[in-house]
Amino acid sequence: MTSSTWNSDGRGPLRGVGVDVERIARFARPGDPRNPLPLVFTEREADFAASSGDPARALCAAFCVKEALFKAAGRPVDARACEVFARPGDEVPGIVVGATLAADLGGASVAVRLFEAGGDLVATVELRGFQ
């Protein structure tokens, strides 16, 4: 059992929180193509993962964040419109939210945290801002 505690420095009222956990090894299967899920990952994310030094972790982090974002939004969102670039050890990955998705989220700010425990990655996503 692992726990993690952190504070949020986000501004504005909390509009949603999402949490997801994924096993990193599931993104390191022999024979998988460079982009195993083109419906989820953009080519930029796949390129980043391939050059990150730990492709499985980078893809796992991106998947985890997208799932957490889906949960925070409380409805389906365009997974490819939120690109996630996590290097090994990153607690706060780089994210790029496309304009359409940003509008879909009503202009809410997106704050992401990652932590790793026992071969799993956990992502939290906070959506904040005035409606």
Partner 1 sequence: MGSQGAFAGPGPVGENDGMRDIDQATALEIRDLVFDFFAAECDVDRATLQDSTRIIEELEGDSLMFLSLLEKVRKRYGIGIELKVLARHLMKRPANTIGQVVELSLAIVRHGDDVVNVEL
Nearer to partner 1, 47 or 104 (CB): 104
Q: How far is the CB of 98 from partner 1 (least distance, A)?
A: 12
> Of residues 17-56, which lie at the interface with partner 1 (CB under 8 A)?
22, 26, 36-40
Structure tokens at 33: 């193509």
* DSSP letter string, 45-71: HHHHHHTSS-HHHHHHHHHHHHHHHHH
Residue from 51, 75, 99, 131 in contact with partner 1 (CB under 8 A): 75
- The half-sphere exposure of 121 on its side-chain side, counting CA atoms within 13 A, is 30
Q: How far is the CB of 35 from partner 1 (least distance, A)?
A: 10
Structure tokens at 9: 């420095």
Strands 82-85 and 94-97: antiparallel
Q: How far is the CB of 59 from partner 1 (least distance, A)?
A: 10
For residues 42 and 81, is the Cβ–Cβ distance under 8 A?
no
Nearer to partner 1, 22 or 45 (CB): 22
Structure tokens at 123: 């992502």
99 is an interface residue for partner 1 by CB under 8 A: no
Residues at the contact surface with partner 1, assessed by CB under 8 A: 22, 26, 36-40, 63, 67, 70, 75-80
